[in-house]
Amino acid sequence: MNKILNKALFYKEWIYVKWITLLTIVILLSSKGYGVISELNYKRMIQGGAENNYWFNNGLYEANIHIFIMVLVVLILAMTLFAGEKTSETQGFIASMPFTRKEIIFNKWLVGVVSLFISFVVTYIFLSLFYFLNIKGINTTLNPYFDIIKWFFMNTFQYICIFTFMMFIQAVMGNSIVSSIVGGIILMVPLFITTLGDLIIRRYYGYNRYRYKITNDISDWLSVYSYNIPHQSYVETAIKGTYAHAFSYYTNYKSKLLVLFLLTCLFLFLANLAYKKRNIEYNLRLIVFKNLEPVFIGGVAICSGLLAGVIFGSDRLREFGIYFVIFTIIGYFISKLLLKVLSPRK
């Protein structure tokens, strides 16, 4: 471990990402802190009425836009760690540094992991303090403290996994901004594919609850970026009438943590492999490895078609197909243009 961890490299990278760490803390506290505080205020406001015994659970597991903002922050984090070296001014400096490629890539990864870990630890401490300070008003049976622990591990593992995947994309590609865009789109590919599969099944077999459950389960497992979006169930109560209160929970919690851990290890291995084999002289190119250019062209074309089909194709397979074909062709020519402009070859 000491042979890989380099204090000078770590400090150098940390200087660039410390502001992202502060931004992440602000986003998490403004989301989760506001969520539990607003639920507490609402509970006090309706005291004596149809009280929601799951108020802390609702505030903790509230799925709002911050989930996708966090994905964006992770993309920026990975981009920031690689942006400095992907310039013509720093190529010679990097080549002359007395560090191995393995040391450089591992310290970049470690800095990103520490940044995310600190952000979630700070939020975890806040939620824990809030929980125990208001424990008299919390039904600890319906809102166990273990919910906070689950939230911490699920979110920490998920965003570290996404960050590691983005490091792999940055190691394969040259342009940092385009790398972030491409990586973000790739994360959405499972959603596009399962949406297409659902359209085809409904078109030829009609709606079936059993088939819908299967496609929904497949989408749930493939969409790694949304593992931290909880499922909801409703409980009926009878306080001056019948009221339905929702409570949230993670499905397949331990299995998903294992998947995220294994994917993180895989992406870190691939990132290290790609970074060791990349030619620093190609840092300014869009794709560092020439044999991956056909993959980039095909990927951009297909993803463009799938994205357009999902957005504009509504629920009709024919419309989906039309938009898919049109935007696949457009994506093909855009990818060729990007390679020509951003990957000039002497």
For residue 321, pLDDT beyond 60 = yes
Q: Are 74 and 163 in contact (CB under 8 A)?
A: yes
Confidence class for position 6, pLDDT limits 50, 70, 90: confident
Q: Are 127 and 40 in contact (CB under 8 A)?
A: no
pTM, two decimal places: 0.82
Per-residue pLDDT, 42? 67
Give the tens place of pLDDT for each residue, 196-226.
777 666 666 666 677 667 777 777 777 777 7
Confidence class for position 116, pLDDT limits 50, 70, 90: very high
More confident residue, 106 or 58: 106
Per-residue pLDDT, 280? 66
Q: Are 36 and 56 in contact (CB under 8 A)?
A: yes
Residues 6+ apart with CB under 8 A from 286: 173, 174, 175, 178, 296, 338, 339, 342, 343
In a domain, 182, yes or no: no
More confident residue, 55 or 170: 170
Confidence class for position 227, pLDDT limits 50, 70, 90: confident
Tell me what the pLDDT averaged over the chain comes to: 78
In a domain, 338, yes or no: no
Q: Are 288 and 174 in contact (CB under 8 A)?
A: yes
Per-residue pLDDT, 82? 82
Per-residue pLDDT, 228? 83
Is 206 in a helix, a strand, or coil?
A: coil
Give the tens place of pLDDT for each residue, 236-281.
555 444 445 677 788 888 999 999 999 999 999 998 888 887 766 6
CB-CB neighbours of 52 under 10 Å: 21
Is 145 in a helix, a strand, or coil?
A: coil
Domain count for the chain: 1
Confidence class for position 2, pLDDT limits 50, 70, 90: low
Minimum mean pLDDT range among 51-55, 171-175, 274-278, 324-328: 51-55
**Across 3-22, average pLDDT:** 82
In a domain, 264, yes or no: yes
Confidence class for position 185, pLDDT limits 50, 70, 90: confident
In a domain, 317, yes or no: no
Residues 6+ apart with CB under 8 A from 171: 82, 105, 270, 271, 274, 275, 278, 288
Per-residue pLDDT, 242? 45
Q: Which of 78-87, 121-130, 190-199, 319-328 is modeled with the greatest confidence?
A: 121-130
Give the tens place of pLDDT for each residue, 64-83.
778 888 888 999 998 888 87
Per-residue pLDDT, 315? 61
Q: What are phi and psi of 155, to 5 degrees?
A: -70, -40
In a domain, 205, yes or no: no
CA distances from 142 to 53, 57, 234, 241, 291 (A): 7, 8, 13, 21, 55
Q: Are 228 and 70 in contact (CB under 8 A)?
A: no
In a domain, 161, yes or no: yes
Q: Which of 97-101, 138-142, 163-167, 295-299 is modeled with the greatest confidence?
A: 163-167
In a domain, 137, yes or no: yes
For residue 123, pLDDT beyond 60 = yes
For residue 296, pLDDT beyond 60 = yes
Per-residue pLDDT, 203? 64
Instruction: For residue 130, give its domain range.
Output: 7-176+246-280
In a domain, 166, yes or no: yes
More confident residue, 253 or 291: 253
> How far is residue 283's CA from residue 34's CA, in Å, rounded to a whole number?
42
